[in-house]
Amino acid sequence: MKTKLIIFILLLQATSLIKLAGQDVSFSQFYSNPLYLNPAFAGSIEVPRVAIQYRNQWPGFNKAYTTYSVGFDMPVEKLQGGLGILLLNDAQANSALNKLQVDLMYSKFTRINKKYRMNGAVQAGFHQNSLVWDKLIFPDNLDPNYGNHGVSQETPISDPNFTYFDVSAGVLLYSEYVFLGIAGHHLNEPKQSYYEGQEDVGVLYRKYTLHFGANFNIFLKGHLRKKFDLSPQVILQQQGSFRQFNYGLFLNRKGLSGGVWLRQNLSLNYDALIFLVGFIRERWQLTYSYDWTISGLAGLTGGSNEITLSFLLKNPSRKSSFPFYRSPGEY
């Protein structure tokens, strides 16, 4: 365990050698948390929806990253669109740093033709970074031989809670079988420095997301009875110099679901294989995913665990689109 802790500290120190910049949480079940992926999903399935998500990343490093999120969205006929709210808390380094965000979003609906519909959305919220000074370890209070902690001479910051305003936007084009979206988060690139006079440090860079997916009905040869649903999915993200590419397949048969994705950067450096299993019904879905690390940290991180519970508060008036897919129906 001590070796893993040292490696984790070295990783944090390595990132501190470059210009400090924040990076968003990356969920493996990205389409199970639609409001976090793209605010244009707000109200997209025409009934109120709740999505609850928990992620434990790298448990081998003792609560390195633990994230909770709750999202709610609903259509509003008088506004000709949808409203949504997202609450997220990301606890880092055994809760030494907590990032809390509350975002509100409005999505405007536009009918393109009989098949396609487009949503355009804006999002605004308040985010807070809370630092627990007593949990920080500095070089002057760490015994290099035994790892014992002493008393640091570092001067604590005056206000460990830093709040900033954040703005995002997104567009979603979709039909019953295909969906394509683009989103831009942190458009105002807020600053996150705790110290006055260092406003150019700790910039939260804009994040750009391009995502695509489809849903196909697979039938038995020579029969009209459906065999299963197959959904290929792709997501491409960039935030500052960081780029991520996820791609894979999701399969649903009689309400039982499974999927596999590969996560990498654009330099073909592979990070993880993502495996998913779960249940899907007409009004709810429960899914679990595991990230199997295949990068240089393989065998040390313990992978990543993610659980999502999503449900509708009313029966859908018609077959719903992604992320709830369609009702399992007859096979």
Of 88-102, 193-207, 310-324, which gets the smallest average pLDDT? 310-324
φ/ψ (deg, to 5) at 15: -70, -25
Looking at domain 22-144+165-193+202-312, its CATH superfamily turns out to be: monomeric porin ompg (2.40.160.40)
Nearest to 34 by CA among 90, 77, 74, 76: 74
**Residue 330 reports pLDDT greater than 60:** no
Residue 27 CB-half CA count within 13 A? 26
Nearest to 92 by CA among 68, 74, 112: 68
CB 276 within 8 A of CB 53: no
Concatenate the DSSP letters of all residues of 127-145 into one string: EEEEE-GGG---GGGB-TT
- The token pair that represents 109 in the structure block: 């609906």
C-beta atoms surrounding 254 within 10 Å? 13
CB 229 within 8 A of CB 251: yes
Each residue of 58-108: pLDDT tens digit?
888 877 899 999 999 999 999 999 999 999 999 988 888 899 999 999 999
CA separation for the pair 275, 257 (Å, rounded): 11
Strand runs labelled E in 58-195: 65-76, 81-92, 97-111, 117-131, 161-174, 178-185
Question: If you average pLDDT over residues 287-306, what whole number do you get?
Answer: 86
C-beta atoms surrounding 267 within 10 Å? 7
pLDDT, residue 157, reads: 77
Question: If you average pLDDT over residues 288-309, what whole number do you get?
Answer: 87
Please report which confidence band the pLDDT of residue 199 belongs to, taking 50, 70 and 90 as the band edges.
low
Please report which confidence band the pLDDT of residue 23 belongs to, taking 50, 70 and 90 as the band edges.
confident
Of residues 257 and 183, the one with the higher pLDDT is: 183
DSSP state of 204: -
Average pLDDT of every residue of the chain: 83
In the chain, what are the domain boundaries?
22-144+165-193+202-312
Largest CA distance in the chain: 77
Helix (H, G, I), strand (E, B) or coil at 268: coil
Each residue of 41-68: pLDDT tens digit?
999 888 899 999 999 998 888 778 999 9
Question: Could you tell me how many helices (H) and strands (E) the chain has, helices first?
Answer: 2, 15
Please report which confidence band the pLDDT of residue 149 belongs to, taking 50, 70 and 90 as the band edges.
low
Nearest to 89 by CA among 58, 132, 128: 128
